[in-house]
Amino acid sequence: GQQLNQSPQSMFIQEGEDVSMNCTSSSIFNTWLWYKQDPGEGPVLLIALYKAGELTSNGRLTAQFGITRKDSFLNISASIPSDVGIYFCAGNQYGNKLVFGAGTILRVKS
Amino acid sequence: NAGVTQTPKFQVLKTGQSMTLQCAQDMNHNSMYWYRQDPGMGLRLIYYSASEGTTDKGEVPNGYNVSRLNKREFSLRLESAAPSQTSVYFCASSKIDNQPQHFGDGTRLSIL
């Protein structure tokens, strides 16, 4: 089946730092999504990307749909304590279901 | 708005017991999904319902059954629970199939 490789697995950063994480696949995807999951809650959609090369921002978050359609990255600028959580990428191909990466655990040192 | 509501939030079962997890959405979405989340493995699709009246298997359907009761409700049943089914179960919905999904807060299920 389709596989999404998400990296890094976890990050431990200083408050105020910028964060970058990415998702890659050997397959082409037509949609990339980024979700955040807080402890004890379900994933919440942060950003949706629909076109190769698309760059979309949501506050301090910026995500891009890779030009090859096989990858996507998420950047968080000036991290704050509430950025703690698990970030998931997800992608889908026409006619197939969403596939999720294993997640990046973000811990912020205040 | 409630969004996607799952009940119960927590449950402990003994091996062999049966149980139904409930999910309801109030967003008038056509498609609904059930996932399980295990450490280090992301979310894996168990079953989905692209529209009312249809259900299909996902990546890990063994040991589960589903019912799309109406447009709002999609239930997941474990007929004979096994310890390997200890997990966090998430229900999600989307306007149509393959659109961004909205998730409930999960059911934490432990099987002893």
Choose from B4, B56, B101 for mutation: most chain A CBs within 10 A: B101
pLDDT at position A72: 97
**Residues A62-89: what's their mean pLDDT?**
95
Q: Find, among A48, A42, A43, the residue nearest to A61 by Cα.
A: A48
Q: Closest residue of B to A94, CA-based?
A: B98
Contact A98 B105 (CB under 8 A): no
**Residues A24-47: what's their mean pLDDT?**
94
Contact A102 B100 (CB under 8 A): no
Only one residue has tokens 């997990």, namely B87
Contact A98 B101 (CB under 8 A): yes
pLDDT score of A102 more than 70 = yes
Residue type, B17: Q
Query: pLDDT for B23-58, tens place per residue?
Result: 999 999 999 999 999 987 789 999 999 999 899 999
Q: Give yes or no for B45 touching A (CB within 8 A).
A: yes
Query: pLDDT for A81-94, tens place per residue?
Result: 999 999 999 998 77
Q: Find, among A106, A92, A104, the residue nearest to A48 by Cα.
A: A92
Measured CA angle at A56 (ends A50, A60), to 5 deg: 145
Q: CA B82 to CA B89: how far, in whole Å?
A: 15
Q: Give yes or no for A33 touching B (CB within 8 A).
A: yes
**Residues B86-107: what's their mean pLDDT?**
93
pLDDT score of B110 more than 60 = yes
Which residues of chain A does B105 touch, with a Cβ-Cβ cutoff of 8 Å? Answer: 40-42
Contact A42 B43 (CB under 8 A): no
Q: Give yes or no for B50 touching A (CB within 8 A).
A: no
Q: Are A37 and A86 in contact (CB under 8 A)?
A: yes
